[in-house]
Structure 1
Amino acid sequence: MKFIDSKFMRDICNVTKQSYDNGWDERNGGNISIRITEDGKHADLYWGYEDGAKPTSEFPTHLMSHIARLKTDKNQRVVMHCHPTNFIAMSFTQTLDEKRLSRILWKMQAESLVVFPEGIGVIPYMTPGTNEIGEATAAKMSEFKVVMWPHHGIFAVGSDPDETFGLIETVEKAALIFTTIQAQGGNILQDITNEELKELAQAFGVTANSKFLK
C-alpha cells in the first residue's frame, strides 16, 4: 500500500488507542478515515470486515466531509470522529450557538484560538449514520475544522492523524477547563479579554473568525 504513508498507519494506531484510553471511543465508538492520493476509480479491501462486518454507518459523513474539505484545503486528508466527554456535556448545558461556544472555548486557554481560529461549527441534533447528518456536517466543514454533534461527539479534520487528534485534544482540554470552572461555582473573576484574543491571533499569525471576535 505505497499510496498510504506507513507513518500514517502507525499514527492511526497511536491516536485511536489514545482516544480509547481517554474514554472517547467506548466499545467500538468513533472512527477515522484518510483520503488517499489514488485516482479514486476503485476500492480495494486489504484487511478486516470478516464475518459480515461493514464500514461504520458514519462513512457517508466521512466521504462528504472529505469532499467539502478538499475544496478548502487539499492537504487536510484526515477526518476523525470520537466522543470527548466534556465537549459533549457542553451541548447539554450551553446554547447551541457557534459564536457563544467558540468564544467560551477560546477564552479557556491561549492554545484554543491558535489551534482552531475559525471557531467551531455546530449542527442540530440529528440521527447519526444518515445522509442528512453527513450533508449538514459537510456544509460546516467548508468553514470549520471542528464540528459539534450535540449530545453525541465531534468531527475534526487535519493534515495527518496526529494533527487531527491534537485538534480534538485542544478542544476537549478547553471544555474540561470550562467544566472545572462550573464545578467550582462558575464565578469567573477574570478571563482572556477580547483584546487579548486579537493579540494572540496577531502574535501567532492566525486569522481569527472576525464574526466571533465581536
Structure 2
Amino acid sequence: MTKFFYQTELDDFKATAHWLALRGWSEAAGGNMSIRLDCQDSSLADLPEDDHIKLPVDVPYLAGKAVLLTGSGTRAREIGVDPLPHIGLYKISEDGRHYGWVAGNNNPSMELPAHFAIHNTLERHRPEDKAVLHTHPVSLIALCHMPEFNNGFNNAKTISDKILSMQSEARLILPEGIGFVKHELPGSLELGLKSALELKRHHLVLWQYHGLLATGETLAGAFDKVEVLEKSAQIYWQVLVAGLDPKGIKKAEIKHTLKAFGRLERYFPD
C-alpha cells in the first residue's frame, strides 16, 4: 500500500496534524485535510469502471488527478503519530464526474465532495495551492458570536479590516483578507461550493460558528495562515478583555506597509 504514497506528503500530514492537536484546534475527530496530486506515476493507472462512484458535482479540472484525504472519524492526535492508516488515496475519473478509492483508508471524510469542489477551483484559479486544511480555531469561532461580526452585512470585510489590523504583519501575510460563509450544514456540498467561490481570491474562509478553511502549497503553508489569523483574533480578544477598544492599525498605515512590500495590488479594501 505504501507504494501509492509519497513520504513528503505523509510527513506534511503528520507534522500538521501534530500541531493541530497540540493547539487544540482539532478536537476529537474535528477537522480534515487533503492534498491534490498529479497522476504521473504508473501506479495510479485507470481504475476499473466498477470502482467509480458518481460525484454530486462535476470537477473537470481534477480529471485524471488524485487526492489524499483524511478518513472519517480520524483524529489529528493519531495522524500526528502515524498518518498512513488514517489517509485515503482517491482518483478522479477522466470525465471529472466519478472517483474511486485507490489505497489507504477507504472511509473518507463526509466532506469529500466539498474537498473535491474546492480543489477543482484551486486547480483552475490557483494551481500552486495543492493543500486544503479545515480546522476549529477557538478565537476565530468565538468572533462569529459577536454582534460586530454577525450583522449579516459584508462579514468578510468587517472581520478582515478589524482582525488583520491587530498586528503589523498580519495583513502583510494575508493582504487579500479572508472569505466568509454563513452557517451551513456541516459536511454539506453547499458549504463546499460556497467556500470554493470565496477561494477564488482568498486563502482563508471563515465558516460561521464552525471553523476555518485554509489553502496553501503544502498543509504546513496552510497552517501558517491559520496561525496568523488566529493570533490576530487572540490579540483582539485580549485587548477587549482588558476593557479597551481594539481599534487596530489605521488603514493608511496598512496600505503604506503593503505598498512598501509590493503587495498593495492584492489588498481589497471594499
Common fold by TM > 0.5: yes
Q: Residues of 1 paired with 2:185 and 2:179: CA distance?
A: 17
Counterpart among 222, 233, 239 of residue 164 in structure 1: 222
- Deviations 1:30-56, CA, capped at 9 Å, x for gaps: 11100101132364533234xxxx211
Which residue does the alignment assign to 1:196? Answer: 253
**RMSD between superposed Cα atoms in Å:** 1.9
Q: Which residue of 1 aligns with 2:185?
A: 127
- Could you give the per-residue CA deviations for residues 77-125 of structure 1, whole angstroms, max 9, x where no partner exists? 0000000000000011132411110011221112211221111111111
In the aligned structure 1, how far is the partner of 2:110 from the partner of 2:101? 19
- Per the alignment, in what secondary structure is the counterpart of residue 12 of structure 1? helix
Q: How does 1:78-97 map to 2 (within 5 A)?
A: 78-93=131-146, 94-96=148-150, 97=155
Matched residue of 1:114: which SS?
Answer: helix
Contact 2:25 2:136 in 1 (8 A): yes
If the length of structure 1 is used for normalisation, what is the TM-score? 0.89
**Alpha-carbon distance in structure 2 between the residues aligned to 1:2 and 1:104:** 47
Identity of aligned residues (%): 27
Q: 1:114 aligns with which of 163, 172, 185?
A: 172
Give 1 or 2: higher strand fraction.
2
Alpha carbons of structure 1 residues 48 and 5: separation in structure 2 relative to 1, 3 Å? closer
Q: Does 1:28 align with 2:41?
A: no
Structure 1 unaligned regions, length at least 5 = none
User: Is the CA contact 2:136–2:212 (under 8 Å) kept in the aligned structure 1?
Assistant: yes
Residue in structure 1 matching 2:241, options 183, 205, 209: 183
**Kept in 1: contact 2:255–2:264 (CA 8 A):** no
Specify the alignment match of 1:146 in structure 2. Answer: 204
Say if 2:34 and 2:115, in contact at 8 Å, map to a contact too. Answer: yes
| Distance in 1, Cα, partners of 2:168 & 2:142 | 22
Q: Distance in 1 between matches of 2:264 and 2:115?
A: 26
Is the Cα–Cα contact under 8 Å of residues 31 and 135 in structure 2 kept in the other structure? yes
Alpha-carbon distance in 1 for matches of 2:268, 2:261: 19
Greater helix percent: which structure?
Answer: 1
Distance 2:3 2:206 in 1: 34
Which whole-Å CA distance do the structure 2 matches of 1:143 and 1:102 have between them? 13
Question: Within 1, Cα distance between the matches of 2:267 and 2:258?
Answer: 11
Decide which of 207, 211, 214 is 2:264's aligned counterpart.
207
Q: Supply the AA of the counterpart residue of 1:37.
A: D
Residue identity in the other structure for 2:193: E
Letter matched to residue 245 of structure 2: N
Q: Quickly say closer, same or farther: Cα 1:107–1:125, change in 2 above 3 A.
A: same
Moved more, 58-67 or 33-42: 33-42
Q: Could you say what secondary structure the match of 1:46 adopts?
A: strand
Distance 1:204 1:131, change over 3 A: same
Runs of 5+ unmatched residues, structure 2: 40-63, 66-92, 94-98
TM-score, with normalisation over the residues of structure 2?
A: 0.72
Please give the alpha-carbon distance, in whole angstroms, between the structure 2 residues aligned to 1:17 and 1:145: 22
Aligned residues of 1:87 and 1:172 also touching (Cα < 8 A): yes
Q: The residue matched to 2:8 in structure 1 has which SS?
A: helix
Is the 1:122–1:140 Cα contact (8 Å) retained in structure 2? yes
Structure 1 pair 133–178 and aligned structure 2 pair: CA distance change class (3 A): same
Q: CA deviation at 1:200?
A: 1.4
Q: Cα gap change, 1:208/1:153 in structure 2, threshold over 3 Å: closer, same or farther?
A: farther
Q: Secondary structure at the match of 2:33?
A: strand
